[in-house]
Structure 1
């Protein structure tokens, strides 16, 4: 169960309980069925709110997470605890990965449930359709690292095949590739050729200011892995299908627009 910042803030208990149930059901069922390996997906929001940067895999439990999504964060932290316990008691090779913000085709573009970039894409699309200003909650100053979904998929397969630690591993672009929400929004505005006004609503919460993650551990394993740069958002292409709800019904409207050039280097090649 996952949601955007303001949904997390409203339903912290639901995110805690539902994700704890999911964790326990999946991992214990895997143990009972003799599954050889489980790779669970965590989130950078699990890291302490008050910390030093860049964050790395050793810092997960060093303090409380940001108050805005503590329910989701603590539930995700418990996967790491459970993985260690299953390994110590039963020898299970259960591990986890910690990706940064994901973007790419076939994303969840729902404003209530989607993540940063697909939510921004939906907002730009709606502003273009309605001829209105583009209003983005917060100041636009918080910073994030974005990883292309195909890059993440290739890394997931590598983890499944080659990564043998129980300890989690961060899957992320480098610290130097971190961008502000304002920069990400401007990239999407340019890619979708939005000509209207861009407004940042500073009366709304920014959430956690930054979660700069180190990929040093990943680079020790895969020093030559090439990530797809977010700057490709500035080069619009046609053909990305975005699914969004029609306001007048529960049906889904499919629209194709100029959004992102997200082809990965070496796309179609074998996983690393």
Structure 2
């Protein structure tokens, strides 16, 4: 198959300072692409006119839309308006602006939370809109579903070479470790680290510990993004995961081992669990020749060491 985005193409990575965007930018630059970026102070992606003007002036060959307002159960439950409106605004601005600027390729990154709460496992791409969503992240999920439909609509109406991918739970260097807004894995890393530092004999975590989750290192996602930009051009979205999951209880044990915390771990079932299981079917992506390369235990250790090496906040 012909390379749909040969080097040296110019690619605008929207959200390059985040967990996903930073990994994608590193990967694309290492592969010989010219990576274009803008900070939030330089360009508010919620501003449709400003975003369209930038894309028209920069005229990138491709756009990776990794910018989003993201967070864990607590943040999603507390700020549903912002999770809905900010993400809708970003998606409308970037996708419409890219089309107006004549951008050839665009990759929109969604989230596995777009799928029904009780979808059959592993979740195939055609499970979308076949059942109710998980209530704790409904606003975010609906925004991401809207972005996926927007991509599909631009393909059908204008023949745009725009594609979408749905990553599973991600982690890695540059993750958000703020306990008020972080996802489960970085939150566990921080909780166990602080418990170790304070020599706490036990730690209590939210929920029952029984939900099952799949985790993919963000560098593996970045490799998948490059492959999709080069090789994939269809309206069907593509799941990106590792094909394996584990319970939150087992995840906690992995994190405790990586951090070196040896205290007792218990769970508080009065707090929500979220979706009981969320494992993606990755056969569509695997058929393109992709496979993850970073085992979970190794990835958690690397993520912990990267976080510990970050400069302390001023």
Q: Does 1:228 align with 2:297?
A: no
Return the offset for 1:162. 1.2
Structure 1 match to 2:161: 93
After TM superposition, the structure 1 = structure 2 runs for residues 28-43 of structure 1, keeping only pairs within 5 Å, are: 28-43=96-111
Give CA deviations for 1:167-224 in whole Å, capped at 9, x if unaligned. Answer: 21001111xx21111111101111111122212111111011111211111111116x
Partners of 1:108 and 1:156 lie apart in 2 by 21
Determine which of 96, 117, 142 is the counterpart of 1:49.
117
Preserved CA contact (<8 Å) 1:145 1:172? yes
3-state SS of 1:242 partner? helix
Preserved CA contact (<8 Å) 2:217 2:299? no
After TM superposition, the structure 1 = structure 2 runs for residues 1-272 of structure 1, keeping only pairs within 5 Å, are: 1-132=69-200, 133-174=202-243, 177-222=244-289, 225-232=291-298, 239-242=305-308, 252=313
Partners of 1:236 and 1:196 lie apart in 2 by 22
Partners of 1:57 and 1:40 lie apart in 2 by 15
Aligned length: 245
TM-score, with structure 1 as normaliser = 0.84
Change (3 A) 1:13 1:127: same
Task: Give the alignment's Cα RMSD to 1 decimal.
Answer: 2.2
Partners of 2:185 and 2:219 lie apart in 1 by 15
Partners of 2:139 and 2:90 lie apart in 1 by 14
Change (3 A) 1:69 1:243: farther
Return the offset for 1:18. 1.3
Partners of 2:73 and 2:132 lie apart in 1 by 17
Segments of 5+ residues of structure 1 without an aligned counterpart are 246-250, 254-272
